[in-house]
Amino acid sequence: MAETPAPMRFAVLLSGSGRTLENLIRAINDGELDGELVVAVSSRPAVRGLEVAHQSGIPAMLVDRKGFVSDLAFSEAIYEALSPFNPHLILLAGFLRKLDVGSSWDRRILNIHPALLPEMAEAAGRGFYGDRVHAAVLKSGVRRSGATVHVVDNGYDTGSVVLTEEVPVLPTDSVRDLASRVFAAECRLYPKAVSQYVAQNSDWIRTAPGKIVKKVRK
């Protein structure tokens, strides 16, 4: 009899309210996403996302970006913090800092962006998150937006697309209106996209990446 595979182990990186983390917790509890959330790390102190993790029994910690002189040093500290939890995938959940993606984590980090990629390039890239994205979409005059789950590479919102979900942009939309509609799409999309990505890459993804051996530079 074949052994049942061990649960997929997810690490979550966040910088704010933890709404996406809450959605991932819900999706796992409801059976939409097969796996377990083994650790949450915030790039900012005293954010609600850390409380969401604590209240759900998920180990949570802070790696404050302000304590590091470069994106590389910060990224190495993040990976070092994750290493004891041996995650298979990192899921970005409102994480607002740049990660340096080394070979150990290549194709093992996913992000969700609140617009359609790559077509809405004017609503993506450095500095585009949250309401800034929706404001750019409305300014462009397009009649559809949505959410995109993509692989994280060393650019800003440039990694290969895993899955998208579209929503309409209505003539009467405010930034808040569009943000609410897109976030509802994100809640449906992220668990589905993660499940699809795992299924399509099952030949290698369950082998956790190697331990980080670089010295962390603050």
To which residue do tokens 């369950």 refer?
A: 206
Q: CA gyration radius for the chain?
A: 17
The secondary structure element, H or E, covering residue 81 is helix 71-82
> How far from 213 is each of 40, 76, 109, 183, 216, CA to CA, in Å?
21, 9, 19, 38, 9
Give 86's Cβ-side CA count (13 Å radius): 6
To which residue do tokens 């795992």 refer?
A: 198
Report the alpha-carbon distance of residue 23 to residue 26 in Å, rounded: 5
> How far from 121 is each of 48, 75, 101, 114, 170, CA to CA, in Å?
30, 25, 21, 12, 20
Report the alpha-carbon distance of residue 37 to residue 56 in Å, rounded: 10
Active site includes 113? yes
User: Which listed residue (54, 88, 113, 150) is catalytic?
Assistant: 113
Catalytic residue set: 113
